[in-house]
Amino acid sequence: MSSAAPVVTRFAPSPTGYIHVGNLRTALMNWAIARAGGGTFILRLDDTDRERSRQEYADALMADLEWLGLSWDRLERQSDRMDRYAEAAEGLRAAGRFYECFETPVELDLKRKKLLNMGRPPVYDRASLALTAADRDRMRAEGRAGYWRFLLQQERIEWTDGIIGPVSIDAGSVSDPVLIRADGQVLYTFASSVDDIDMGVTHIVRGADHVTNTATQIQIMRAMGGTPPAFAHHSLLTGAQGEELSKRLGTLSLRDLRAQGVEPLALLSLMARLGSSRPVELAGSIDEIVAGFDVGSFGAAPTRFDANDLWPLTRGVVQALPHEAMADRIAAAGVPPDQSQAFWAAVRANVTRRDDIADWAALVRDGAAPAIDPEDVDFVGQAIAMLPPRPWTQATWGEWTEAVKATTGRKGKALFRPLRRALTGRDAGPEMAELMPLLQRVPDTE
């Protein structure tokens, strides 16, 4: 997707709910194209649905984008542009491209069913084009409210898609789109077309479910005298087994993933490569994601998303953090300041989420109930009695286990595993040489 004009992209969510991983995919692609091209990224709130749009959702989606580091250069609200949509609609009426219709939803449904029963596509029959001014007055007098359709030119609508490749859609196979409802609500297809032309948008990446919308919007934009942007339609996400994901997207909201401890860079790294020809790997920074982003590397086939794939990436982010980045959280977990660096060095290889340090902090502070197999009771009791006096150092674990080995004859797993379980209550964890100096309590093995 290239353009000689300054790059302008947009992410245009409707603030009717919390944004999810599917929304993020669209936002990230448009953001990366703008940043890679040194252009402008517009956050546009498509909030013409006044009944469902809420400020709390707008605030939440902006907070989600800020958390991810996807900054925007302009904030636009469609609700502020109603006069502009009215002006654009009047222009299309004058050009003969807007016409008023009066069918009820029931009547439209009957028409669709009749066409389907005849084996024909359920395309609107344009009956309203034959209405006279008197017909329209009569229908209004009957209490019917008119809604407005865009008159498509019966031709093939073609473009080269940045992901799908060449696309050609016969406008005759598509119903004239409704652009303004009977209650006056300006619909997405129209408002977005007006905005994209007025705002100089040069590139649009969105889901493959919008391909037909793109075809009609190209005609709308041209009818308004505008030049359509370059389009690319990414594949839709499915579940890990290929199942429909849309019903689960509510459980995959960005705010929920954040609450679970997913790292922003992990989420961005996955979504920047998922469904492309390039392997998913943890990026070193958000700038690295921009530098390596290529919308043309993505395919059109449905893309499987498994939230479990976020955890290895999150673990990679957290384990790479320097002590300074974790110091406040370590202090909040109750680790003494003089042990903070040693604590992080000991536990960092055993955390996936930042919150995981709370468990290890509780272990070193409060100790743990020893886990001792019946056959190891006497051995562990003898070993605990041989513990050297404090203070313990990183050499203590080796010195102690050597002494226990010499006394009991145990070695290898039979030596180390029961002692780890006795001191920590766990089968695995940090290196005991690093952890042991931090332990503030010795378990009672009686």
Question: Residue range 402-424: average pLDDT?
Answer: 96
* Proportion of the chain above pLDDT 90, given as a percent: 89
d(CA 301, CA 292): 21
Dump pLDDT digits (tens) for 96-137: 999 999 999 999 999 999 999 998 999 999 999 999 999 999
Judged against a pLDDT cut of 90, whether residue 414 lies above it is answered with: yes
Nearest alpha carbon to residue 301 among 159, 163, 160: 163
- The reported pLDDT for the residue numbered 444 is 63
Contacts 24+ apart (CB under 8 A), 241-249: 241/304, 242/302, 242/304, 245/22, 245/305, 246/22, 249/20, 249/21, 249/22
- The reported pLDDT for the residue numbered 2 is 47
- The reported pLDDT for the residue numbered 441 is 84
Grade residue 249 by pLDDT with cuts at 50, 70 and 90. low
Give the type of residue at 237: L
Residues 6+ apart with CB under 8 A from 205: 1, 9, 26, 29, 30, 33, 162, 163, 231, 232, 233, 234, 295
Tokens of 252: 């995959």
Question: Residue range 374-403: average pLDDT?
Answer: 95
Judged against a pLDDT cut of 60, whether residue 445 lies above it is answered with: no
Buried b (16+ CB within 10 A) or exposed e, 265-287: bbbbbbbbbbbbeeebebbeebe
Q: Residue 397: which H helix or E strand, with range?
A: helix 396-408
What distance, in Å, lies between the first and last C-alpha atoms of the chain? 71
Dump pLDDT digits (tens) for 70-82: 999 999 999 999 9
Judged against a pLDDT cut of 80, whether residue 4 lies above it is answered with: no
φ, ψ dihedrals at 119, nearest 5°: 75, 20
Judged against a pLDDT cut of 70, whether residue 251 lies above it is answered with: no
- The reported pLDDT for the residue numbered 357 is 96
Listed ranges 231-245, 247-261, 405-419; the one with the highest mean pLDDT: 405-419
Dihedral of the alpha carbons of 376, 381, 386, 391, in degrees to the nearest 10? 100
Judged against a pLDDT cut of 60, whether residue 93 lies above it is answered with: yes
φ, ψ dihedrals at 185, nearest 5°: -70, 125
Question: Residue range 188-211: average pLDDT?
Answer: 96
Burial class (CB in 10 A: 0-12, 13-18, 19+), 79: middle
Dump pLDDT digits (tens) for 296-330: 999 988 899 999 999 999 999 999 999 999 999 99
Grade residue 43 by pLDDT with cuts at 50, 70 and 90. very high
Sign, CA torsion 128/131/133/136 = negative
Nearest alpha carbon to residue 171 among 124, 208, 210: 124
Judged against a pLDDT cut of 90, whether residue 163 lies above it is answered with: yes
Residue 42: strand pairing partners? 10, 74
Helix (H, G, I), strand (E, B) or coil at 163: coil
Judged against a pLDDT cut of 50, whether residue 376 lies above it is answered with: yes
Residues 6+ apart with CB under 8 A from 67: 254, 258, 264
Question: Residue range 34-45: average pLDDT?
Answer: 97
Q: What average pLDDT does the structure give for the chain?
A: 94
Grade residue 238 by pLDDT with cuts at 50, 70 and 90. confident
- The reported pLDDT for the residue numbered 3 is 47
- The reported pLDDT for the residue numbered 239 is 83
Dump pLDDT digits (tens) for 52-68: 999 999 999 999 999 99
Dump pLDDT digits (tens) for 266-294: 999 999 999 999 999 999 999 999 998 99
- Count of H helices and E strands in the chain? 18, 12
Judged against a pLDDT cut of 70, whether residue 21 lies above it is answered with: yes
Nearest alpha carbon to residue 28 among 330, 228, 234, 214: 234
DSSP string, 15-77: SSS--BHHHHHHHHHHHHHHHHTT-EEEEEE----TTT--HHHHHHHHHHHHHHT---SEEEE
Dump pLDDT digits (tens) for 166-190: 999 999 999 999 999 999 999 999 9
Question: Residue range 361-381: average pLDDT?
Answer: 93
Judged against a pLDDT cut of 50, whether residue 418 lies above it is answered with: yes
pTM of the model: 0.91
